[in-house]
Amino acid sequence: MDKARPGNKSRPVNLRYFSTTMHEHNFGWQALESIYKFRKLQTLHLHDPTSVIPIWSHFRLALPPEIWKMSQLRHAQVEATAKLPDPPCGENSVIILENLQTLSLIKNFRCTVEVSKRIPNLKKLGIYYTDEPTDYHCLNNLVNLDKLEALKCILCQDSLSFLKNVTFPESLKKLTLVYGNIPWKDMTVVGSLPNLQVLKLKKYAFIGLEWEPNEGEFLQLKFMLLEEIDLKHWRADSIHFPTLEQLFIKSCKDLEEIPSGIGEITTLQSIEVYNCRDSLVTLAKEIQETQQSYGNDDLQVRIMPFYDSTGVFFQLSLMCKVIE
C-alpha cells in the first residue's frame, strides 16, 4: 500500500494511505486542502499528539468540499473535530462514496437526505455537537445509514431531547454516548435497538438517581460500560439484560449497589469495578460468592485500583476465581 507522511515524496496521485501528525508548523495544511488530488486515497488519518481527547484539541479543521469526489476513500479519521461540508449541489454527475466505512470525528454533523445518500455503506461514525442537536441536524435521517454498526456521540452538557430527535438504524451494534444529561426515561430508545451488543455511557450521558430498565429491551446486549454516571439506585434483574457478558462500572461514585439479579444472568462472564464506593465492592463480592455457591466458578469479578478520599493509592486484586 502506498503511504504518505510529511517528507514522503511518493506521487500524490497514487497515494492510498495518508497519515500525519498535526503540528502548527508542519501539519501541511496545503496538503489537506489539495487532498482531492489523491484520487486513489483509501485512508485519511490526522493525529493530534497534544490532546488525548479529540474535542479538547485546539485544531479546528474543515474538510475540503472535494472530499465528496474521493470515490476510493474508505476511512477518514481525524483526532480532533472536523467540519464536514455539505455535498455540492447542481452537479451533473453525483459521486457516491460507496467505499467509505469510517467517518470520525465530525463536528455538528448534519445528516441530510443528500448526505445519507452519498455514504450508503458507512459502518462507523463519530460525531460531536457544541450545542444541543436540533431538527437542523436532521438526525432522524441516521436511520437511512442501514449499514452503520458503530456510533459515537459526544454531546454538549444539556442535550435533554437528543434521543427524541434521533432515529437510529436497526443495524447499530455499538453505541457510545458522552455527556448529554439525558433523562433515564428516554433510555427505551436505546434499549429497543434490536442488534445492539455494546453500550458505553460516559460522563453524565444520562442523569437521574434511579434507573429501572424495561423488560424486553437490550435483548442482544453483551457489553455495558457505566463511567462517571450520577446513578444512585439501579433496579434491574436478569431479565433486563438476558445476554450480558461483561459489565464495567467506572467512577460511579454515587452508585450504591449492583443489582443482585445481575449475577443470575447465565451468560455473564465478568464484572469489573473501578474507583467506586465500598458498598459497590462489597456487593460485587457477594455476587461472586453466591455464584460460587451455585457451582459457577467461571464468573470473574475484578476490583481495579482506586483512590480514597485522601488521595492514597490502593491496589485491590479480587477475582471470582481466587488465585491460591
Give per-residue pLDDT as tens, 111-128.
Answer: 999 999 999 999 999 999
pLDDT by residue (tens digit) across 214-225? 999 999 999 999
pLDDT the model gives residue 24: 52
How far apart are alpha carbons 4 and 35 in whole angstroms? 12
Instruction: Work out the mean pLDDT of the chain and round it to a whole number.
Output: 85
Q: Where are the chain's structural domains?
A: 208-324
Classify residue 162 as exposed, middle or buried by CB count within 10 Å of its CB (0-12, 13-18, 19+).
Answer: buried
Residue type at position 183:
P
**Mean pLDDT for the stretch of residues 209-218:** 96
Q: What is the number of other CB atoms lying within 10 angstroms of the CB of residue 204? A: 19
Residue with the bigger pLDDT between 5 and 80: it is 80
pLDDT the model gives residue 94: 82
Residue 247 has phi, psi (to 5 degrees) of -125, 125
How far apart are alpha carbons 284 and 45 in whole angstroms? 41
How far apart are alpha carbons 266 and 323 in whole angstroms? 23
Classify residue 146 as exposed, middle or buried by CB count within 10 Å of its CB (0-12, 13-18, 19+).
Answer: middle
**Strand, helix or coil for residue 262:** helix
- Say what the pTM is: 0.87
Contact 107, 82 (CB under 8 A): yes
Report residue 29 as a C-alpha cell: 495544511
